[in-house]
Amino acid sequence: MRLDGTHPRVLRDLKDVIGSQFFIIFKKSWRLGKVPNDWMKANLKLIFRKSKLEDLKNYRLDSYTSAPGRLWSKSC
């Protein structure tokens, strides 16, 4: 589940239904040079990966963004 509450599997399963609407949004965004703000918001989380809790090197950063935002960033 991503930031917008939509599981990427839902988008994949409904691609025939919502694909044309996303294409229109992507095309307009590309033409205007702007991306919807909600697509670029992210939740950042630190994920623990080693034994010492105090050292920041023992954490990695994970970013949770919206599924359409991830599609947009991969297309650029």
pLDDT in tens, 44-74: 888 888 776 667 777 888 877 777 777 766 6
Tell if the pTM clears 0.85, that is, is over it.
no
Domains in the chain, number = 1
Encoding tokens for residue 31?
């033409």
Contacts of residue 57, Cβ cutoff 8 Å, sequence gap at least 6 = 50
Residue 3 resides in a domain: no
pLDDT tier, 9 (very low <50, low <70, confident <90, very high otherwise): confident
Structural domain range at position 23 = 8-75
Q: What is the mean pLDDT of residues 5-9?
A: 75
- In the three-class reduction of DSSP (H, G, I as helix; E, B as strand; rest coil), residue 3 is classed as coil
Report phi then psi at 46, rounded to 5.
-90, 125
DSSP character string of 6-63: --HHHHHHTHHHHHHHHHHHHHHHHHHT---HHHH-EEEEEEE-SS-SS-GGGEEEEE
Residue 2 resides in a domain: no
